[in-house]
């Protein structure tokens, strides 16, 4: 139910079954993008749905289901349970919202949203005009663009003799070029993190490490099936 929508790592037998049999694995998410690889690199078919429908598909365990004719599961008496049996009515939804959602919840949060939490405010921050980059950070890295940036503006020049670096098909999305999902344990990005002393359980996602160009460059080329030589 988020913009990012990624699932984290799949169980090894599931990944192996998808890869070995070239399965078009599907996922259902309540987000704002259903690009290939958005949820997981091995999930090639991704469908947007409302949060309750995401739960319903999860209960069914398949996207290949007709909710009107097929049960999503069976109760303790082994009787079929259909979506209509558990779907709330409009009145039930309204009663729930009226009881548990009120204006005070929002005014209370937004009244102090810019103040931060005690833990956030307790962080020690250098009083420098420039960001204090940490060379050993695997989350935030000083990118080459900043390393070569000069205070003076260079004069604008015409772009001449430019050429296309990559001409990609329709199936390649921004989530291949700038991946957001799980960092596979055998990927170039994983090898980079391991070289920095990061354990697999702490790999996190590409989305969480977008502040590190070293990770993202490796993720981009890996998703496109290219090799990184630096």
> Does 39 fall in a domain?
yes
With 90 as the cut, is the pLDDT of residue 161 above it?
yes
Number of domains in the chain: 1
Question: Do 46 and 35 form a contact (C-beta atoms < 8 A)?
Answer: yes
* pLDDT for position 5: 66
> Does 28 fall in a domain?
yes
Q: Could you give the C-alpha distances from 225 to 170, 188, 220, in angstroms and in order? A: 16, 11, 9
% residues pLDDT > 70 (the chain): 93
> Does 118 fall in a domain?
no
> Does 136 fall in a domain?
no
Domain extent for 59: 12-89
Q: What is the pLDDT of residues 108-132, one digit of tens each?
A: 999 988 998 899 999 988 888 888 8
> Which residues does 191 contact at the CB level (< 8 Å), separation at least 6?
none
> Does 201 fall in a domain?
no
% residues pLDDT > 90 (the chain): 55
SS3 20: helix
* pLDDT for position 3: 67
User: Hey, CA dihedral for 112, 113, 118, 123, is it positive or negative?
Assistant: negative
* pLDDT for position 223: 62
Q: What is the mean pLDDT of residues 176-188?
A: 82
> Does 95 fall in a domain?
no
* pLDDT for position 228: 46
Q: Could you give the C-alpha distances from 174 to 40, 180, 203, in angstroms and in order? A: 13, 9, 21
71 burial (CB, 10 Å; 0-12 / 13-18 / 19+) is middle
With 50 as the cut, is the pLDDT of residue 1 above it?
no
Structure tokens at 52: 């309750």
Q: What is the mean pLDDT of residues 207-228?
A: 79
With 50 as the cut, is the pLDDT of residue 230 above it?
no
What is the C-alpha separation between 169 and 7, in angstroms, rounded?
Answer: 25
> Does 54 fall in a domain?
yes
Q: What is the pLDDT of residues 4-60, one digit of tens each?
A: 667 777 888 998 999 999 999 998 988 887 877 777 878 888 899 998 999 999 999
* pLDDT for position 178: 82
User: Hey, CA dihedral for 62, 63, 64, 69, is it positive or negative?
Assistant: positive
Per-residue confidence at 225, pLDDT binned at 50, 70, 90? low
* pLDDT for position 143: 93
What's the whole-number average pLDDT of the chain?
88
> Which residues does 153 contact at the CB level (< 8 Å), separation at least 6?
none
Q: What pTM, to 2 d.p., does this model score?
A: 0.70
User: Hey, CA dihedral for 11, 12, 18, 24, is it positive or negative?
Assistant: positive
With 50 as the cut, is the pLDDT of residue 229 above it?
no
Residue 177: left if φ>0, alpha if ψ -120 to 50, beta else—which one? alpha
Q: What is the 3-state secondary structure (H, E, C) of 153-207?
A: CCCCCCCCCCCCCCCCCCCCCHHHHCCCCECCCCCHHHHHHHHCCCCHHHCCECC
> Does 83 fall in a domain?
yes
Per-residue confidence at 151, pLDDT binned at 50, 70, 90? confident
Q: Could you give the C-alpha distances from 141 to 62, 81, 124, 147, 210, in angstroms and in order? A: 41, 52, 19, 11, 9
């Amino acid at each position: 139910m988020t913009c990012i929508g990624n699932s984290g790592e799949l169980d090894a037998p599931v990944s192996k079954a998808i890869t070995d049999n070239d399965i078009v694995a599907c996922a259902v998410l309540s987000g704002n993008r259903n690009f290939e690889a958005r949820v997981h690199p091995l999930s090639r078919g991704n469908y947007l749905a409302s949060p309750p429908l995401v739960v319903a598909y999860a209960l069914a365990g398949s996207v290949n289901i007709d909710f009107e004719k097929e049960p999503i599961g069976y109760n303790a008496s082994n009787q079929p349970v259909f979506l209509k049996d558990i779907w709330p009515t409009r009145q039930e939804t309204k009663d729930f919202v009226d009881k548990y959602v009120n204006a005070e919840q929002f005014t209370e949060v937004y009244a102090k949203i810019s103040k931060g939490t005690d833990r956030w405010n307790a962080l020690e921050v250098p009083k420098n005009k420039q960001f204090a980059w940490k060379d050993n950070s695997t989350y935030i890295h000083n990118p080459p663009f900043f390393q070569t940036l000069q205070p003076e503006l260079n004069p604008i020049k015409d772009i001449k003799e430019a050429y296309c670096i990559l001409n990609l098909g329709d199936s390649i999305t921004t989530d291949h070029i700038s991946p957001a999902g799980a960092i596979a344990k055998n990927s170039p990005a994983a090898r980079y993190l391991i070289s920095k002393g990061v354990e697999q359980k702490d790999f996190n996602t590409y989305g969480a490490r977008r502040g590190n160009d070293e990770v993202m460059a490796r993720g981009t080329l890996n998703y496109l099936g290219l090799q990184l030589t630096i």
